[in-house]
Amino acid sequence: MIGIGPVNEQKLHDLGVRTYAQIAAWTAADIKRIEDVLQFDGRIERERWIEQAKLLAAGDEKEFARRFPTAGTASNT
């Protein structure tokens, strides 16, 4: 996801989040819970994590790169 560094990646892992498919399936309640724990305050929606995760979970890195050119490439499938 855009801007996820090793610290936040580890925090997500600690919460049981290890795949893009998990993020792609998040509900509004999941987003609130994760944002509350990580103190993200709207970041998930603002950075369009669900949209990014759906593309990456589907293996569509070409479309991901087109829509999110500053995000880099997938490294957490």
pLDDT tens readout for residues 38-74: 999 999 999 999 999 999 999 999 999 999 988 765 4
Instruction: Write the CB contacts of 27 (distance below 8 Å, at least 6 apart in sequence).
Output: none
Share of the chain above pLDDT 90, in %: 79
Average pLDDT, the chain: 89
pLDDT category at 76 given cuts 50, 70, 90 is: very low
With contact defined as beta carbons under 8 Å apart, do 24 and 74 qualify?
Answer: no
- What is the residue extent of each domain of the chain? 26-72
- pLDDT at position 4, please? 80
Mean pLDDT on 15-40? 96
With contact defined as beta carbons under 8 Å apart, do 34 and 17 qualify?
Answer: yes
